[in-house]
Amino acid sequence: MTTRQGALRLTLNYLVVASLWVFCSDMLLTSLGLTVRQTEQIQVWKGLTFVLLTSALLYVTIRWHLERQARIGSALQASEERLSLALSATEDGLWDWDLQRQKVFYSAGYHTLLGLPEGALSNDRAQWEQLLHPDDHPRYQRALAEILQADRDTPYENTFRLRHHDGSYRWILSRGRVQVDAKGQPARFIGTVKDITQRRADADSLRQAAAVFEATQEGVLVTDVQQNIVHINPAFSRITGYSEAEILGQQPTLLKSGRHDAAFYQHLWQTLQTEGIWSGEVWNRRKNGEIYPQWQCIRAIHDDNGLLSHYVAVFSDISVLKHSQDELDHLAHHDPLSNLPNRLLFTERVEHALGRAQNEAHRGAVMVIDLDHFKHINESLGHNIGDLLLKAAGARFARQLGKAATLARLGGDEFGLLSEDCGQAEQAAQLAQQLIDCLTEPFVLEGQELFISASIGISLYPQDAQTVEQVLRNVDSALFKAKNSGREGFAFYDHAQTEHARQRIELIAGLRHALENEELRVHYQPLCRLDDGQMVGVEALVRWQHPQRGLVPPGEFIPVAEDSGMINAIDAWVLEHACRQMVAWRAAGSPLQFVAVNISSRLFSRGELDQRVARVLAQTGLPADCLELEVTESAVMDDPDQAQALLERLRSLGVRLAIDDFGTGYSSLARLKRLPVQKLKLDQSFVAGLPDDKDDRAITRAVIALAHSMEMNVLAEGIERVEQQDYLRELGCDYAQGYFIGRPVPADALKLT
C-alpha cells in the first residue's frame, strides 16, 4: 500500500468514527428528554470529550509514525554507511541512473577512480560519454540496449575505457542491474565500477609470458623446493627427448651425464644459495643416451613473503656451436677466397716466430708479395677473373714452399710469407726469386691466357726487427722499394727506406696542420706576351711557410699532397685566395687580365669542379674571364668523355681554359680539337734544350703550329735564358713564363708595371 492510499484510508476511518459519534450521541440526548439548557451543557461536554479523544488518538498516531520514520532513517543511514565502507574497501565507485528523469548520480569513489574532485561529474550522461574511449562507444551502446530490453533479473557486466584526469585511459569493469517500476518498466539502473587497468596489464603480461614459455627455443624446467620437476616447455622435450609425462615428478639428476664431479655441483648450489642465480656450461644426457653440452641458467624463485618456492632452469643446446667452433675459428683466421691464413693468423704466427727467435736464437724471413698491375685485370676482365687469378697464384706460391713456411693472403692482391728456415739473406733471396719465377708460366682461366708478375719485399728477423709491428712496417717499406725499382723483383728492407717513409708520414701530418693553421701561402709568377714583353697575367702557385723549416719546396710536398688526397683542399684554398687577390688588384687599377690557377687531376676527376668555381666566383665577385684554369694533359686524357663534358661546363661559366704540361702525355688530336680550350702550355722539358737541341726545336715548332691551326694560343714555361725567349718569339709563340721573366713572389712583392 502506498503512502497516499494509507493517508486516505486513515482519513475515511476518522470520518466514519466522528460521524457515528455525532449521530449516536445526539440520538441519545434526544431520547433522554432533557431540557434545552441541560442539552446545551451536555453538548459542550460532549464536544470537549470528542476533542480530547481525537487529540489523544492523533498524538498516538503521529508518535507511532515518527518513531517508525526514525527507525527507517536509522536503518537507511546504517545501510548507506555499510555500502560506503564496502565500496571504499573495494575501491569501487557507485552509479545510479534514474531512467525516467535521465539523471545519474556518481559516488565519491567514482570520482576518485577517474582522478576527479567530488562533484566534477554532473548528473548529465552526455558529460560521462565524452570520457568514454571512442573505440569502445559502439560496444557500450550495444550492451546498454541489450540490458534495457532484457529481463529485470539479468545482471549487467561490461568493460570499457574511461579517460582519467591525467589524460590516460583506464580500463573499467562495470556491473549492475536494472530495476523496474510497478508497471514493469525500467526505472533505475544502478551498479558499481572498478579500475581493472592493472589487472588487464597483468593478464597481458601473463599471456605473453606463457606464449614465450611455450614458443621459446630454449628448454625450460621448473622444480619445487624439493627439486621435483613440476613444469616443462615443448623445447625441453625437443632437446632432451623426454615427454612431459615421463619427466614430471622426476628430479633433474635424471639428466646428468656423469662428466662433472661432486665439486662442480657443490659450487653450483653454493652459488645458487648465496646469489640466487647460476649460469654456465653443463654437459647433460638425452633420453637416447647422447651426451651434449648446454648453456644453462638456474634461478631461485621466492614468494611474496621471501620464502623459496621454486627453481627455474633455462638452457640451450650448444652442441651445434661446439661442433662448428673449429669452423668458426677457421673462418676467423683464414681468407674465404683462397682458404689461406688471413692477416690475423699471419700476424700471430709472426709473433710466435719472433718469440722463438729470442728464446732459441732462431732466424727467419718475412715477405710481402704484391701482384703487379693486378687492378688492370679486375678493371678489364672483371672481379670474377681477378678472384680466380688470386686463388691460382696462391696455389702456385704454396707449391714452392716447405712445411716451415706460412703463406697468407693479407688482402687485395697482397700475400704474406713467413719462412722460418731462411736464416740467411741468400736463402731468402733465392726463395723470393723462386716465387717470382713460378709466375712466368701463363694462367689459363675460363679460356683466357693471363700473365702476371710480382714484387716482393723482404725483412729478416731478428736482425731487422724485434716486434711484429716493426717486421710488418719494414717489409712494407721493402715492398715499396721493390715496386719503385721497376717491379717483377724483390728488395730487402733498409733503414733509409724506413726513414723516408717516416718523413713522408710526418710531412702528411704537417700538411694537415698547415691547412688548419694557415701556413700556406700563394705566390704569383708573371705571364708575359712575347711580342711586346707586356705582363698580361700571373700564375698562382702554392707555397708552404713551415714554422720551423721555413719555405718548403713545392716539389717536396705537392706529390705527397696528391698521393694523400689533400691536394683537393689545397687547390680549393688556392683558387679562392687567387680570386680574391685578383679582385683586389682590379680594384687598385692593375692592368692584369687574368690569374691562372692549376687544377690537380684528383680535383678535376671528381666532376664537381664547375660548381666549386661558380661558387668561388660568386663569393669573390671576380668576373669569370679573369680566371684561367690550367688542367694537365694526363688528367684530360684519363677519361676524355667526362673531361670534355666538364670543360664545356666550365667554359659556359666564362672562365679561360688551358692545357698544362702539353706534350708529356698521350693526347688524341681528335679529342684535342673538340676541347673548349684556348691555350696550350708547352712543358718546360722541351724548352730547356732550346735553341740548341734539334729534337726540342722540332717538337716546339710542331706544338706551336698545331695550336695555331686549332686557333689556340701557346705559352712556353720554364724560360731561363734570353736566347730561349728570342727563339720562341721567332717561332711565333704567344706567351712565356719562367725565372728569366719573373720568379714567383708574394702578391705585395709583385711588380705590376
**Which of the residue ranges 69-73, 331-335, 417-421 would you say has the lowest mean pLDDT?**
69-73
**Which of the residue ranges 5-14, 157-166, 264-273 would you say has the lowest mean pLDDT?**
5-14
Same domain, 161 and 55: no
Residue 83 forms part of a structural domain: no
- Binned at pLDDT 50, 70 and 90, residue 6 comes out as low
Last residue of a domain, one of 39, 69, 99: 69
Q: Which residue has the higher pLDDT, 596 or 60?
A: 596
Q: Which residue has the higher pLDDT, 235 or 3?
A: 235
Question: Per residue in 553-577, is it b (16+ CB within 10 Å) or e — as a string?
Answer: eeeebbebbeebebbbebbbbbbbb
DSSP string, 446-467: TTEEE---EEEEEEEETTS-SS
pLDDT digits (tens, 9 = 90+) for 104-139: 888 888 888 888 888 888 888 888 888 899 998 898
CB 301 within 8 A of CB 220: no
Write out the residue range of the structural domain in which residue 164 sits.
91-201
- Binned at pLDDT 50, 70 and 90, residue 81 comes out as low
Give the rounded percent of residues in the chain with a pLDDT score beyond 70. 93
Same domain, 563 and 677: yes
Whether the pLDDT of residue 433 is over 80: the answer is: yes
Q: Which residue has the higher pLDDT, 485 or 438?
A: 438
DSSP string, 556-613: HHHHHHHHHTTHHHHHHHHHHHHHHHHHHHHHTT----EEEEEE-HHHHHTS-HHHHH
What phi and psi, each to the nearest 5 degrees, are found at residue 547? -65, -25
CA distances from 459 to 337, 371, 496, 556 (A): 26, 18, 14, 28
Q: Is 712 helix (H, G, I), strand (E, B) or coil?
A: coil
Whether the pLDDT of residue 89 is over 60: the answer is: no
pLDDT digits (tens, 9 = 90+) for 718-728: 999 999 999 99
- Binned at pLDDT 50, 70 and 90, residue 414 comes out as very high
DSSP string, 68-111: HHHHHHHHHHHHHHHHHHHHHHHT-EEEEEETTTTEEEE-HHHH
Same domain, 360 and 304: no
Nearest alpha carbon to residue 456 among 438, 432, 473:
432
C-alpha grid cell for residue 149? 530490453
Whether the pLDDT of residue 623 is over 90: the answer is: yes
Nearest alpha carbon to residue 518 among 537, 487, 544:
544
Nearest alpha carbon to residue 683 among 705, 699, 670, 694:
699
Same domain, 296 and 423: no
Residue 75 forms part of a structural domain: no
Nearest alpha carbon to residue 238 among 298, 317, 314, 312:
317
Q: Which pLDDT score is estimated for 369?
A: 93
Same domain, 607 and 675: yes
Same domain, 532 and 458: no
C-alpha grid cell for residue 589? 687599377
Same domain, 147 and 240: no
Whether the pLDDT of residue 2 is over 80: the answer is: no
Nearest alpha carbon to residue 683 among 662, 709, 711:
662
Which distant-in-sequence residues (6+ apart) come within 8 Å of 599 by Cβ?
A: 571, 609, 629, 630, 631, 635
Residue 280 parent element (H or E): strand 277-285
Whether the pLDDT of residue 27 is over 90: the answer is: no
C-alpha grid cell for residue 667? 693526347
Q: Which pLDDT score is estimated for 379?
A: 82
Residue 411 forms part of a structural domain: yes
Give the rounded percent of residues in the chain with a pLDDT score beyond 90. 19
Q: What is the arithmetic mean of pLDDT over 292-297?
A: 90
Whether the pLDDT of residue 583 is over 90: the answer is: yes
Q: Is 471 helix (H, G, I), strand (E, B) or coil?
A: helix
Same domain, 39 and 101: no
Q: Enumerate the H helices of 334-424 as residue ranges.
A: 343-360, 374-381, 383-399
C-alpha grid cell for residue 75? 536503518
CB 519 within 8 A of CB 545: yes
Whether the pLDDT of residue 86 is over 60: the answer is: no
Residue 680 forms part of a structural domain: yes
The CA distance from 438 to 454, in Å, is: 10
CA distances from 421 to 347, 427, 467, 498, 722 (A): 18, 9, 19, 25, 65
C-alpha grid cell for residue 39? 442539552
Last residue of a domain, one of 450, 470, 493: 493
CB 504 within 8 A of CB 521: no
Which distant-in-sequence residues (6+ apart) come within 8 Å of 561 by Cβ?
A: 511, 567, 570
Last residue of a domain, one of 201, 236, 271: 201
The CA distance from 67 to 70, in Å, is: 5
C-alpha grid cell for residue 92? 569501487
**Which of the residue ranges 57-71, 202-216, 637-651, 704-718 would you say has the lowest mean pLDDT?**
202-216
Same domain, 165 and 301: no
CATH code, domain with 709? 3.20.20.450
Most confident of 73-77, 96-100, 289-293: 289-293
Same domain, 730 and 589: yes
Average pLDDT, the chain: 84
Residue 343 forms part of a structural domain: yes
CB 342 within 8 A of CB 331: no
The CA distance from 678 to 629, in Å, is: 11
Q: Which pLDDT score is estimated for 622?
A: 92
pTM above 0.95, yes or no: no
pLDDT digits (tens, 9 = 90+) for 652-683: 999 999 988 776 655 556 567 778 888 888 88
**Which of the residue ranges 21-30, 149-158, 492-501 would you say has the lowest mean pLDDT?**
492-501
Q: Which pLDDT score is estimated for 332?
A: 81
Q: Is 542 exposed, middle or buried (0-12, 13-18, 19+ CB in 10 A)?
A: buried
Whether the pLDDT of residue 699 is over 80: the answer is: yes
Whether the pLDDT of residue 594 is over 90: the answer is: yes
Same domain, 713 and 567: yes
Same domain, 733 and 597: yes
Q: Which pLDDT score is estimated for 556?
A: 82
Q: What is the arithmetic mean of pLDDT over 490-505?
A: 67
Residue 18 forms part of a structural domain: yes
Q: Which pLDDT score is estimated for 262?
A: 87
Residue 209 forms part of a structural domain: no
Q: How many domains does the chain have?
A: 5
Question: Per residue in 730-746, is it b (16+ CB within 10 Å) or e — as a string?
Answer: ebebbbbbbeebbebee
Whether the pLDDT of residue 518 is over 90: the answer is: no
Q: Which pLDDT score is estimated for 41?
A: 77
Residue 78 forms part of a structural domain: no
Q: Is 256 helix (H, G, I), strand (E, B) or coil?
A: strand
C-alpha grid cell for residue 370? 704484391
CATH code, domain with 184? 3.30.450.20
**Which of the residue ranges 283-287, 482-486, 681-685, 731-735 would you say has the lowest mean pLDDT?**
482-486
